Amino acid sequence: MRTYYFDMKDGVPVRDKSGLEFVSDGAAIAHSKRLADKVRRENPKGHAELRIVVLDESGREVHREQRSMINVVLTPVLSARLPFSDAAAVNNI
């Protein structure tokens, strides 16, 4: 297991000083996506430009998660109006 750090940036950066252990870069990246989604669900009007930067224990950037509010707000609306195959494509954005 390796330690990964999840720094949050939305104007003023917030450093993750404790980190979390994951078995791989992929697992840490998946966590960053869930974390970004959770922050946006809890405060949908704030954090429009939130970025979560995933760093491994050596300080190397592994991933940068950024989701604009337009994806969070429009994806369900577009999915409801598109044929099934097009809706699936939108949800994979």
Query: What pLDDT does 50 receive?
Result: 77
Max intra-chain CA distance, the chain: 46
Please say whether the dihedral angle defined by the alpha carbons of residues 80, 85, 90 and 92, taken in this order, is positive or negative: positive
Q: What is the crossing angle of helices 84-91 and 69-81, to 10°? A: 170
Each residue's pLDDT tens digit, 11-66: 778 899 999 999 999 999 999 999 888 877 787 666 667 788 999 999 999 999 88
Q: How far apart are CA 45 and CA 39, in angstroms?
A: 10
Query: What pLDDT does 80 receive?
Result: 41
Instruction: Read off the pTM.
Output: 0.66
With H, G, I as helix, E, B as strand and everything else as coil, classify residue 25: helix
Q: How far apart are CA 76 and CA 39, in angstroms?
A: 18
